[in-house]
Structure 1
Amino acid sequence: MTNATQDLILGLDCGTGGARALIATVAGDVLAIVDSPYPTHYPHAGWATQSPDAWWRAACEAVRGAIAEASIDPARIAAICADGTSSTLVSLDADLTPVSDAILWMDNRASPQAHRIEHTGHPALRRSRAGVSAETALPKIMWLKDNAPEAYSATRWFVEMTDYMALCLSGTLTLGQNHTINRWFYNPRAGGWPVDFLDAIGLAGITERFPKDMPALGDPIGPITAQAAAQMGLSPKTLVVAGGTDAYVAMVGLNTLRPGETALITGTSHLVLPVVAEDVEIEGLFGPHPDCVSQGAFVMEGGQVSSGGILRWWHDLLHEGDNGYEEMLAQAEAAPPGANGLVVLDFWQGNRNPFTDYDLQGAIWGLTLKHGRADITRALMESVALGTANILGRLQARGLEVKTMTLAGGVLRSPFWAQMHADATGVTLRIPDVGEATAFGAAITAAVGAGLYPSLEQAADAMVRIRSEIHPDPARHAQLSSQMELYLETHAALRPLMHRQAARSRASPAAH
């Protein structure tokens, strides 16, 4: 329990592009948000890595900046909670030092290993009926064992980005239940680790390399270390609280914690996260994941690997630095719906849901000499919105109608793109006061760990406020529904060619 002078909390969101620190009051008023970037490296096609040291430097810089921006005494900060990108694998040696750069979530080098896991048909795969994602930790661990035996042998502990940040903050090695439930096949309702499954996929004994301390989202870990407190400018009395997967922590920041509520998390990637009361399976989606956010409830998951990342790629081809976004989006808005006949598949890093196929690639067709940059920008944006609608279609086919989604992340910066998502899906979007829901969710989670609220649900009820709603336009919804038919037919037609190209790239990566 905190003392009366500790009336603030700190959320640290470690995303794909950088660290974001958010300081808030226990009433939910945000005092400061500060970002600090770190780079991503792409050493081969389909690979993506980051430096854990770069994460920590950026996190310290963001926290120090937020304290300065808020102009507060750091002794007032009761607790800090850090989230991280999902399935970003960190290999630690016996001294708890990273063996190499982390394998980022979007890295799809382990696609063959994911297929091997899938082909076992083991009962543990029921929450991955869509197929085993190459992004997740177990295929990546298998890839290391198959292709980098020295690094694999040097690894004493496998953890995720969130756990590494908690280690840097607290000095305590943990492996959070939030991400092990939704990504590592851990099931607290079925005895924990599925040991026979791990044996069957060639990872016998691997749990000996998994930390035994497995806190749930919002559990206190312990006080910040003196070294971390000094580097961040925090009080040594600050409590470190267990975080989890960034998008699942954002559910706390959006207060979508009860059955019937759905979060739409947008950024470099998109995630649709409905909460359901029953243990149901939906073809093409992951889940149901039990008790990984709210106790007693299940989370379904549908994701797009490349969404905002595609727009960033296109922007960076056209512009230097961060210049040009406003003009680029304004030009796209002026282009006609349907982008003068262009069709795009948003599979720049493969498809997570509903196809779960990391051998797919991005595609643009219908190009003629009449098309300009605005048409291509609009077509890219429409493809991402259609990808979201495609995920919701699987829910609706199972009879789980989604009438509203609470929106967070990058799409909020473009009212035009937010409206396009509402039009493509036919769903009303709820807009929160605090759009940076992941960092805000981490702060709310910190408040629960510090004992300032008794549960995540009660904390979110008190701290999250909805500002407005975006309703779908019926005419544009009909037009985009027609576009969806071309989207699906294009996938079906190009899938065999994309698989052949992916096989060529794996056979000779330097040549392709």
Structure 2
Amino acid sequence: MSKYVVGIDFGTLSARSILVDVSDGTIKAASSMDYPHGVMERKLPNGTTKLEADWALQYPPDYIECASTTLLNVFKASGIDPSQVIGVGTDFTECTMLPTLKDGTPLCMLDKFKDNPHAYVKLWKHHAAQDEANRLNEIAAQRGEEFLEFYGGKISSEWMFPKIWQILNEAPEIYEAADRFMELSDWITLMLTGEEKRNSCTAGYKAIWQKKTGYPSKDFFKTLDPRLEHVIDTKMSRIIYPVGSKAGYITESSSQWTGLPVGTPVAVGCGDAHAAVPGAGITGPDIMLMVIGTSGCDMMASRQNIKVPGMCGICEDGILPGYFGYEAGQSCMGDHFAWFTKNCVPEEFSAQAKEKGMHVTAYLDRLASEIKPGSSGLLALDWWNGNRSVLVDVDLTGVMFGMTTTTTAPEMYKALVEAVGYGKRMIIDTFKKHGVTIEKLYATGGIAEKSPFVMQTFADIIQMPVHVTASKQTTAMGAAMFGAVAAGGAHGGYDTIEQAGNAMGGGVKNTYLPHAENSKTYELLYQEYSKLHDYFGKDNDSVIKRLKNIKKTTSY
């Protein structure tokens, strides 16, 4: 009888489950479901409590509902009995965090806190803790804290401790009531197994934990705020489990909403982008995987331990055991293009797309691909959601230069795609400048799968071949592989993630080679982008910062 594993991928807007043959990685069924409450940026579910600028919250029951529905769908579609599942793995966006009671009950589910925004899930792109991040970085630099070197010199407002500190500053009653502050990758494991098993991936990349040194000292947290001195011991945990290890088993309770048999092994959680590395079949060093979705993450395992300024982090065993795992990324990719198609496309283009039976973004891809690089006179900075790497500054905003009364929507769209490509090259060039070897570029995610135009633009700008993974579900596949490792070789799974990756990993579907003529033009444009990047991005008193401060004082 064949054996299977389940991978559950919790993304920004939806959750998806896949049922995978453990022997060769064949996906027998897949199902996705949008979160009913989506991303809450303006109001809480009550419809009356308004949110301030830069907030991004989610509603925790949505995760359970989506996981339950998609699991039911994959078993129904495949006809496979759940008893044939030998392991379960999950991945989650990060840092997506939640204040809970000890048993994992979200504080927002308690009547007394249901109208308090700080009781809800703070999604990864909740950027309202920038003041706390700025202060944390300032104090860490003053103290000469060595951990800064592991995170490119700055801790992001997207990460765990700025978000915790914001709760303490703005809603101390929530801080006091919280028994735990949890990454959702660990919370979903708790919901499945009844065991609090925090994973090394999200702890290492989002909570300033390192394998050899642990968390920053109590004295550091006390210097930030005396009330934070014991935050690790009272609100978190110092016990961290490596990715791929077994967290526990499906319980009587979780069996009811997953449909999985009680006792099915469950892996510790993992960050979504990190899970995509083995999910793409990458089990060795020096291959960068570009995960291209709502935002973008760049992941790579390496034998080199080099501290690179402006990167999200380096963590030993953070992606693959035995290697140093690097992470960088861009805060706005799919969000970038979705914003443009929603707000800036004339009705005539939408009508033309509809006539051709095309989504408007695909139609813009076609039109933009016909525009010669440089011919529009446009150049954009890709900071619509701030900058994650290499400037690490969420207060930066997007800019487009060179517009005239003859500028068209396809030209503007092409400039935005190019901007993301320039930002990607800035990341890669920074790695190389500091001595990190990058031999190959892989890409995965919805945009990589659906948009040859975007991928060809990336190849032309970066001037390296871009290999698109064959699997459409690399993040969920990586989670499934961790489920196979949790099951173990003796029970039909695998003993290491390398073994699982080699057996279940996908391969390459398409390769985009740089076009020499386009690359020549893009080299000139990239030099101009680099100048603007430094001019507007490295000045703490730039017009971008001043405009955002004015917005904060007048919009809400």
With the shorter chain as reference, the TM-score category is over 0.9
The answer as to 2:285 corresponding to 1:286 is no
Change (3 A) 1:422 1:291: same
| Alpha-carbon distance in 2 for matches of 1:129, 1:104 | 22
Deviations 1:246-283 (A, max 9, x none): 11111111233422222111101111222221321112
- 1:384 is paired with a residue of what secondary structure? helix
Q: 1:258 aligns with which of 284, 294, 297?
A: 284
| Alpha-carbon distance in 1 for matches of 2:287, 2:171 | 42
- 1:189 is paired with a residue of what secondary structure? coil
What's 2:501 paired with?
460
Q: 1:330 aligns with which of 360, 366, 370?
A: 366
Change (3 A) 1:226 1:213: farther
Q: How does 1:404-419 map to 2 (within 5 A)?
A: 404-410=440-446, 411-419=448-456
| Alpha-carbon distance in 2 for matches of 1:486, 1:130 | 25
Q: 1:20 aligns with which of 16, 21, 40?
A: 16
Deviations 1:396-452 (A, max 9, x none): 211334231121112221112111111111122223221321011111111111101
What's 1:486 paired with?
528
The answer as to 2:463 corresponding to 1:426 is yes
What's 1:500 paired with?
546
Deviations 1:146-183 (A, max 9, x none): 11212212211001111121122222223212110111
The answer as to 2:207 corresponding to 1:198 is no
What's 2:31 paired with?
34
Change (3 A) 1:191 1:93: closer
| Alpha-carbon distance in 1 for matches of 2:456, 2:26 | 27
What's 2:111 paired with?
none
Shift of 1:107: 1.2
Q: Percent identity?
A: 25
Shift of 1:75: 1.1
Letter in 2 for 1:111: Q
What's 1:136 paired with?
159
Change (3 A) 1:112 1:509: farther
Letter in 1 for 2:426: N
Change (3 A) 1:398 1:93: same
Q: How does 1:48-63 map to 2 (within 5 A)?
A: 48-63=56-71
Q: 1:164 aligns with which of 187, 195, 203?
A: 187
Contact 1:253 1:437 in 2 (8 A): yes
Letter in 1 for 2:41: Y
Shift of 1:192: 5.0
Deviations 1:308-341 (A, max 9, x none): 1111222233469994232232222223323601
Change (3 A) 1:124 1:162: same
Change (3 A) 1:339 1:199: farther
| Alpha-carbon distance in 1 for matches of 2:217, 2:204 | 11
| Alpha-carbon distance in 1 for matches of 2:494, 2:474 | 18
| Alpha-carbon distance in 2 for matches of 1:437, 1:95 | 31
The answer as to 2:52 corresponding to 1:11 is no
User: Number of residues paired by the alignment?
Assistant: 506
Letter in 2 for 1:205: H
Contact 2:2 2:21 in 1 (8 A): no
TM-score normalised over the length of structure 1: 0.94
Structure 1 residue ranges without an equivalent (≥5): none
The answer as to 2:354 corresponding to 1:355 is no
RMSD: 2.0
Q: 1:469 aligns with which of 511, 532, 551?
A: 511
Change (3 A) 1:470 1:357: same
- 1:19 is paired with a residue of what secondary structure? strand
Contact 2:286 2:437 in 1 (8 A): no
| Alpha-carbon distance in 2 for matches of 1:187, 1:423 | 37
Letter in 1 for 2:260: L
Contact 1:110 1:135 in 2 (8 A): yes
Shift of 1:342: 1.4
TM-score normalised over the length of structure 2: 0.87
Q: 2:266 aligns with which of 235, 240, 243?
A: 240
| Alpha-carbon distance in 1 for matches of 2:216, 2:485 | 27
| Alpha-carbon distance in 1 for matches of 2:300, 2:516 | 24
What's 2:47 paired with?
none
Bigger Cα displacement from structure 2, 198-207 vs 373-382: 198-207
| Alpha-carbon distance in 1 for matches of 2:331, 2:401 | 20
What's 2:131 paired with?
112
- 1:190 is paired with a residue of what secondary structure? coil
Structure 2 residue ranges without an equivalent (≥5): 43-51, 108-118
Change (3 A) 1:6 1:241: farther
Contact 1:432 1:464 in 2 (8 A): no
Contact 1:35 1:62 in 2 (8 A): yes
- 2:468 is paired with a residue of what secondary structure? strand
